[in-house]
Structures are given as structure tokens and as C-alpha cells.
Amino acid sequence: MESIPYEHGLILAAMLFVCGLVGVLTRRNIVFVLLSLEIMLNACGLAFVVGSARWGDAEGQAMFVMILTLAAAEVAVGLGLIIQMYRRFQTVDISVLNEMKG
């Protein structure tokens, strides 16, 4: 088996992360913001697993399991919040959420 360069895995994780980040910063629909957040979380998990493969250890995977758990809980609550927001404002535009201005 050929080996895979370690940095390439990390750079892939960085690029996925950055994609998710630009999605968070740009999109106005809150669903897409949440999706971009998921992309970022996934990228972090990828980085951990790459690290675990580099050292031949299972610890990175254990962290990946935790990240997965975290993502699940966060998505559940986030979706609940989206539902409430939609009920209240009848829109998913995040620019209505500016009551903390000033």
C-alpha cells in the first residue's frame, strides 16, 4: 500500500472548514447557516481522524465520536430554534434577528 502524505489530509480538512466558514458568513437563510456549521464540524472530525491515522492511535477516533455526538445535539436544538423562529417571524431571514442592536 502506498502511503498518503499527512499534510494533504490536514489541508483537505482546512479547505472543507474554510468552505463551511464562508457559507456561515455569506448566507442569509438560517438553514444554510446551520448546514455550513455542520460542514465545519465535519471538517474538524476529519482532521482528528487524519491525526489518529498518522499516529496509529485510536484516540483521534474517540474524539471523532465525541464530535459526532456534539453535532447531533447541536442540530437537534438548532432545528428547534429554527422552527420557533419560523413560527414567530414567518421567515428564515436572519436579518430579522437584530433586536440586540445597540
Site for other proteins in 67-96 (CB under 8 A): 68-77, 79-84, 86-87, 92-95
The full length of the chain comes to 102
For 38, what's the count of Cα atoms within 13 Å in the CB-facing half-sphere? 15
Write out the binding residues for other proteins, residues 24-43 only, by CB under 8 A.
Answer: 24-29, 31-36, 38-39, 42
Q: How far is the CB of 67 from other proteins (least distance, A)?
A: 10
Among 44, 66, 88, 89, binds other proteins (CB under 8 A): 66
d(C-alpha 97, C-alpha 23), whole Å: 18
Among 10, 44, 88, 89, binds other proteins (CB under 8 A): 10
Q: What are phi and psi of 27, to 5 degrees?
A: -75, 145
